[in-house]
Amino acid sequence: MTDRKPGYTTEVPYPNVYHRELNPSFHTMALNANGLAAPSRETPYTYLELGCAWGLSTLIHAAANPDSKFVGVDFNGECIAAAGEIAKEAKLTNVEFLQADFADLPGRVMPPFDTIVMHGVWGWIDQTGRDHIVRILDRHLKPEGHAFISYNALPGNAPVDALRRLLQVGFELGAEPLFNKVNAGVGIAAQVKDNGARFFAAHPMMAERMDHMIKPAPRDYLAHEYFNADWQPFYYRDVEKVLAPIGLQFAGSAHLLDLIDDAQLPEAARRHIAGAPTMATRETLRDFYINTLFRRDMWRKGTVAQTKDSQDALMATRFVVGQGVEHFDRIAGHAMLGEVRPKAEPGRAIVAALEAGPKTAVELSKDPTLASVELAVILETLMVLAAVGAAEPILPEAGLAARKASCQRLNAALAQRTLNAARTGGREWQSLASPVTGGGIATNAVIQAFILARHQGVEPMAFAASFAPDEAPAADVQEHIRKLYEVFERESASTFGNLGIV
């Protein structure tokens, strides 16, 4: 069966993944980290996600921000139906999922949005689709509103574009159904690589990608990533040119690792970029120095100006840690030019202090263990921790009880589906909503079982074991789950506690 909308694979849905950069509270912190003013998330807001697929990010944000209004749009009916069912099960009355084509939205009557986000959409559709997105941003984003757009970037993706051409040749020769065609695409490229093609010698990263595809990577992911009729990487400048006429200005990267230039750029490159006369020059130089593969950019409808208030706002932001100090050595992220880690000191002391409860940089500076550390260094370290995903900004205390109640309902609905899928096969929903951060956290089926059992007041290990696949031997399963429960208790129960999830 071929059911392809012009330019987009609709036979198989995209995997369901939570994206932290789509979290409005995270945006606020990222805008501040870019030196810009940012909307407070204490006032209710409106939020639209374009191409939301299964709606996991929008569901999580809706549950964690019950006073705000959320809309998720995708033309994939299976995904939208599932997202809508989960919203209903979780009794979320502040979210709507629309099965619609972007083409239908510019003319649709909708409330104006404070935030419009899209992840993995801009470069995965055809030019007509992008034109519709620009009209949506023009028509439905409020003045002073913010957009988030991620895309595969150039020059990093130049060889990926070439590899995709080769994959497509095999795909077109392959027989239906879709996954056969995907395998035919991967097969032809693997053969070219194995026969010693110079393309792969010249681009070792493409050889690595082929190894990953052969391994194999999930076919639904590959279908969307490499086999859409339209897939296009962009130079920053070309995106800016399209968004400037509708009044959108670049408001910095939401990928905080991008802000840690020390980790990515040699001194001469930093000086060169700092001296660039325009944003387009600056970002272009950066993308060439780094060979950027993926951009996660924020845009503001209106003027963008640096403000000192952003520093005060960051100082007043409370952070929570995602792991205990005993795992400090595991805290690391990967920037384009290598690994980024927080400095051991004051990193350890900060993580230890945050483990005891969320704090601002100013509050941390009053902790006896950090008394001799300058406030600027504390803030810088917090930013590194946030950039590598080890710390998250949190929402204000007010409203926490209501947020907890709606997150608990959503988390129960997600966990129940994940556990049913673990037993009988099907789609797992591997993130849960945090009423503390307003965003999601990645989990797995077993952890979801332990958390759900605690909420239901039943014995966690027996509860988790009841979802093991039928064919698994009972004694082995019980022993395995007992060990996993020990690890959960020791390593992650307190984290989920700090995040308001257990």
Ligand X SMILES: C[S@@+](CC[C@H](N)C(=O)[O-])C[C@H]1O[C@@H](n2cnc3c(N)ncnc32)[C@H](O)[C@@H]1O
Contact residues for ligand X, defined by CB under 6 A: 8, 14, 17, 19, 51-53, 74-76, 101-102, 119-121, 124-125, 129, 224
For residues 346 and 439, which CB has a smaller minimum distance to ligand X in the complex? 439
| Residue 27 buriedness (CB in 10 A; 0-12 / 13-18 / 19+) | buried
What is the distance between the alpha carbons of residues 113 and 70, in angstroms, rounded to a whole number? 9
Establish how many alpha carbons lie within 13 A of residue 79's alpha carbon, considering only the half-sphere containing its beta carbon: 26
For residues 124 and 226, which CB has a smaller minimum distance to ligand X in the complex? 124
For residues 120 and 159, which CB has a smaller minimum distance to ligand X in the complex? 120
What is the distance between the alpha carbons of residues 109 and 140, in angstroms, rounded to a whole number? 9
For residues 167 and 352, which CB has a smaller minimum distance to ligand X in the complex? 167
Question: What three-state secondary structure class fits 298?
Answer: strand
Closest separation in Å from C-beta 477 to ligand X: 32
Closest separation in Å from C-beta 222 to ligand X: 11
Which residue stretches of 320-374 are H helix?
A: 344-355, 361-365
Tell me how long the chain is: 502
User: Residue 437 phi/psi, 5° resolution?
Assistant: -90, -20
Closest separation in Å from C-beta 269 to ligand X: 30
For residues 129 and 500, which CB has a smaller minimum distance to ligand X in the complex? 129
Residue that is written with structure tokens 């009841």 in the block: 466
Closest separation in Å from C-beta 50 to ligand X: 7
Which of 325, 305, 310 is closest to 379 using CA atoms?
A: 310
For residues 2 and 195, which CB has a smaller minimum distance to ligand X in the complex? 2
* Beta-sheet pairing, 69-74 with 46-50: parallel
Contact 390, 407 (CB under 8 A): no
What is the three-state SS of 137-172?
HHHHEEEEEEEEEEEEECCCCHHHHHHHHHHHHHHH
Closest separation in Å from C-beta 273 to ligand X: 29
What is the distance between the alpha carbons of residues 409 and 237, in angstroms, rounded to a whole number? 43
For residues 56 and 395, which CB has a smaller minimum distance to ligand X in the complex? 56
Closest separation in Å from C-beta 469 to ligand X: 27
Question: DSSP letters of 73-99?
Answer: EES-HHHHHHHHHHHHHTT--SEEEEE
Which residue stretches of 246-299 are H helix?
A: 261-264, 267-274, 279-290
For residues 129 and 322, which CB has a smaller minimum distance to ligand X in the complex? 129
For residues 53 and 361, which CB has a smaller minimum distance to ligand X in the complex? 53
> What are residue 46's DSSP bridge partners?
69
Contact 189, 170 (CB under 8 A): yes
Beta strands in 385-445 (DSSP E): 391-393, 431-433, 440-442
For residues 51 and 460, which CB has a smaller minimum distance to ligand X in the complex? 51
* Burial letters 488-497, b for 16+ CB under 10 A, else e: beeebbebbe
Closest separation in Å from C-beta 6 to ligand X: 9
| Residue 282 buriedness (CB in 10 A; 0-12 / 13-18 / 19+) | middle
Closest separation in Å from C-beta 8 to ligand X: 4
Name the percent of the chain in helix, strand, coil, to the closest 5: 50, 15, 35
Closest separation in Å from C-beta 158 to ligand X: 20
The residue number whose beta carbon is nearest to ligand X equals: 51
Nearest 5°: the CA angle 332, 338, 344 is 40
